[in-house]
Amino acid sequence: MHKSQTSKTTTKPPVKEFIVETPGAMKQEALRGFIFDIQGHSVHDGPGTRTTVFMNGCPLNCIWCCNPEGLFRHPVIMHKKSKCVCCGNCIESCPYDAVSITKEGNLYFNRGLCDVCKTHECLDTCYHDGLELNGKFYTPDELMQKLQRDRQFWGAKGGVTFSGGEPLMQSRFILEMLKRCKKAYLHTCVETTSCLPTDYYMDAMQYVDWVFTDLKHMNNGEHKALTGAGNSLILKNIETLAKKPDWDGFIVPRIPVIPNLNDSDENICATADFVKAIGLEVINILPFHRLGESKYRQLGKVYRFAEQKPPSAEKMCHIKKLIEGYGLVCFIGYETPF
């Protein structure tokens, strides 16, 4: 059945602003963080075995992003075609007339409506796991309980890693979580864009032991073209943190290596030069991959990198040698000795 055959009137879903990231906002409501994944037993996101918490929201919009569901700062519906049996329940249950079936027989979600929908009536009527939200709200108590349960699996060196998206974006929630983790003697790590106001960035870092920070391109214009924002704030924040005398954390700059976009010798050398100049010793290079491709389809988005290939092993070794030429230690991928 095509949606146009029904008699429902098309109305826009009620929109409620997602404001948990705004300092001082939601004072009248319980503090909650919006989280799109929690992975236990993680061995690539810091020292030891860890629990990695993936938080929604990001100040950048990188064209190669492998976690597109994390870019939304509010719940949106994801349609899993591989599980959908085209039963039509979601078409019937949507009060906003947002779902239809195309001439080719595929389910079509009107993203202009679904991406601002706050009610998600369709979700409860799908009995085949064809629909799912891109995240879940947790209070600090709920998340702490989960972390404390995982603690027994971490061993002596492990802890919690906050990733994303940009984990520092939901400012009140993450500050509360970092403080609670420190109070409970949990080792804390963040994987960050470092693209945040400096005062706030430095405030949060007081409670962080390890920082993995991206350095996507050293040229401001190129950085803006690839990510939607320039790099001056990012460089300033990393340098300010690296030179803070009373901060005894550890910083690992990371370069996501994207063929033909940021893998030139010139950019790699400029990155190594910067890292060396601010007194850091390590760079981690991560080869581009396409693991997030199916999530773009589930969100009804176009994946702009379908034809992009990962860098060759030879290219990664070449970049490693360039970086080592600056007297820095370079790790490829997740083969880190942490």
Task: Label residues 271-283 b or e (16+ Cβ within 10 Å = b).
Answer: bbebbeebebebb
Q: How far is the CB of 8 from ligand SF4 (least distance, A)?
A: 10
Residues 218, 170: Cα–Cα separation, whole Å: 26
Task: Label residues 148-162 b or e (16+ Cβ within 10 Å = b).
Answer: eebbeebeeebbbbb
Q: How far is the CB of 130 from ligand SF4 (least distance, A)?
A: 3
Find the binder of ligand SF4 among 42, 49, 51, 89 (CB under 6 A). Answer: 89
Find the binder of ligand SF4 among 63, 87, 235, 322 (CB under 6 A). Answer: 87
**Six token digits for residue 82:** 């591989």
Applying CB under 6 A, the span of 84-92, 219-227, 268-276, 308-316 interacting with ligand SF4 comes to 84-92
Find the binder of ligand SF4 among 13, 70, 135, 159 (CB under 6 A). Answer: 13
**Cβ-defined contacts of 297-305 (< 8 Å, 24+):** 297/81, 298/69, 298/78, 298/79, 298/80, 298/81, 299/68, 299/69, 299/76, 299/78, 299/111, 299/134, 300/79, 300/109, 300/111, 300/114, 301/68, 301/111, 304/63, 305/63, 305/64
DSSP secondary structure, 235-272, as one string: HHHHHHHHT-TT---EEEEEEEE-TTTT-SHHHHHHHH
The answer to whether residues 227 and 61 touch, using CB atoms and an 8 Å cutoff, is yes
Provide the CA 189 distance to its chain's centre, in angstroms.
14
Q: How far is the CB of 213 from ligand SF4 (least distance, A)?
A: 35
Backbone region of residue 293 per phi and psi (left: phi > 0; alpha: psi in -120 to 50; beta: other values):
alpha
Please say which residue, 132 or 222, places its beta carbon nearer to ligand SF4: 132
Q: How far is the CB of 26 from ligand SF4 (least distance, A)?
A: 23
Q: How open is the CA angle 189-252-185, to the nearest 5 degrees?
A: 25
Please say which residue, 91 or 275, places its beta carbon nearer to ligand SF4: 91
Binding mask 98-137 for ligand SF4 (x = CB under 6 A): xx-------x-x---xx--x-xxxx--xx-x-xx------
Amino acid at 305: F
The answer to whether residues 299 and 253 touch, using CB atoms and an 8 Å cutoff, is no
Find the binder of ligand SF4 among 26, 63, 84, 270 (CB under 6 A). Answer: 84
Please say which residue, 127 or 185, places its beta carbon nearer to ligand SF4: 127
Please say which residue, 108 or 247, places its beta carbon nearer to ligand SF4: 108
Q: How far is the CB of 141 from ligand SF4 (least distance, A)?
A: 29
Applying CB under 6 A, the span of 15-23, 25-33, 91-99, 180-188 interacting with ligand SF4 comes to 91-99
**Six token digits for residue 258:** 């994207």
Q: How far is the CB of 303 from ligand SF4 (least distance, A)?
A: 20
Please, which residues have CB within 8 angstroms of residue 259's CB and are 6 or more apart in sequence?
288, 308, 309, 310, 311, 315
Binding mask 251-270 for ligand SF4 (x = CB under 6 A): --------------------
Q: Does 88 bind ligand SF4 (CB under 6 A)?
A: yes
Applying CB under 6 A, the span of 43-51, 80-88, 276-284, 286-294 interacting with ligand SF4 comes to 80-88
Size of the site for ligand SF4 (CB under 6 A): 28
Q: How far is the CB of 298 from ligand SF4 (least distance, A)?
A: 11
Contact positions vs ligand SF4 (CB under 6 A): 13, 77, 79, 84-90, 94, 96, 98-99, 107, 109, 113-114, 117, 119-122, 125-126, 128, 130-131
